[in-house]
Structure formats: structure tokens, C-alpha cells
């Protein structure tokens, strides 16, 4: 059974960097059948794709966020991470990690999501 679980702080101060980790179980990050993504959701912007990484460490970014985002694979190959720099109130959202089926480019498994609030 594939499971994804986000972890990280629920509160970040303006201008700081958000760091989130997604722990994957029941599936291999090393598979070339799947890529691994971060998506966020806010009432203002709805669902917004942030970034994707594949088993080779190749990365893809939403152009609107690219300058502030880093996505990486953990050496354990069971986790991947997101860093979003220069956080602002507009970055307040529920952040999801999700698995991308490469052949069809959709998200077939999602984490439960973690609410990140930007506030001083």
C-alpha cells in the first residue's frame, strides 16, 4: 500500500525558508514509472503545482515559483524534500506531496497534506 506523509513546521515567519519532507512507503522512489511532486492549495490560488523530481534527480518547476524552490531526494531514497525561500503571507497553504505516474502525468497518490501558515 502506497503511502506518502508530509512533515515540517506548521508556522513560518515572513522571509524565512520553509522546509518540508515527504516520506514514501510502499513504493520505490527509484522506479522510473513514477516521479515525485509537491503541490499546494490555498483558497486564493486553489491547487498549484510547485515542483517535481524524478529518480535521477532531474527537477521540474512551476515557473512562477522556480526562483524560490529547491526539491531534492534524500540519500535514504525513501524521502524527498521541498525548500521554499522568502516565505510570505501569500505562501500560506496546505502543502501536499504526491506521486506522479509518468506515463499519464497525473497524481495517483497524495499525502494527507500539512497546513503551513506564514506569520510573525
Partner 1 sequence: EIVLTQSPGTLSLSPGERATLSCRGSQSLSSSYLAWYRQTPGQAPRLLIYGTSTRATGIPDRFSGSGSGTDFTLTISRLEPEDFAVYYCQHYGSSLRYTFGQGTKLEIK
Is position 48 an interface residue for partner 1 (rule: CB under 8 A)?
yes
Q: Which helix (H) or strand (E) holds 82?
A: strand 79-84
Size of the site for partner 1 (CB under 8 A): 22
Q: Interface residues for partner 1 in 92-111 (CB under 8 A)? A: 96, 98, 101, 104-108, 110-111
Q: Cα separation of 100 and 89, whole Å?
A: 28
Give the contact letters, 59-88, x = binds to partner 1 (CB under 8 A), - = no. -x-xx-------------------------
User: Site residues (CB under 8 A) for partner 1?
Assistant: 37, 39, 46-49, 52, 60, 62-63, 96, 98, 101, 104-108, 110-113
Amino acid at each position: 500500500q502506497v503511502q506518502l506523509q508530509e512533515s515540517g513546521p506548521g508556522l513560518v515567519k515572513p522571509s524565512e525558508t520553509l522546509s518540508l519532507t515527504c516520506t514514501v512507503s510502499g513504493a520505490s522512489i527509484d522506479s522510473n514509472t513514477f516521479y515525485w511532486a509537491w503541490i499546494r492549495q490555498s483558497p486564493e490560488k486553489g491547487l498549484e503545482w510547485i515542483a517535481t523530481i524524478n529518480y535521477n534527480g532531474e527537477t521540474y518547476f512551476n515557473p512562477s515559483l522556480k526562483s524560490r524552490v529547491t526539491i531534492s531526494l534524500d540519500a535514504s531514497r525513501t524521502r524527498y524534500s521541498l525548500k521554499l525561500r522568502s516565505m510570505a503571507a501569500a505562501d500560506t497553504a496546505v502543502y501536499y506531496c504526491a506521486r506522479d505516474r509518468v506515463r499519464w502525468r497525473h497524481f495517483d497518490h497524495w499525502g494527507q497534506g500539512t497546513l503551513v501558515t506564514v506569520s510573525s
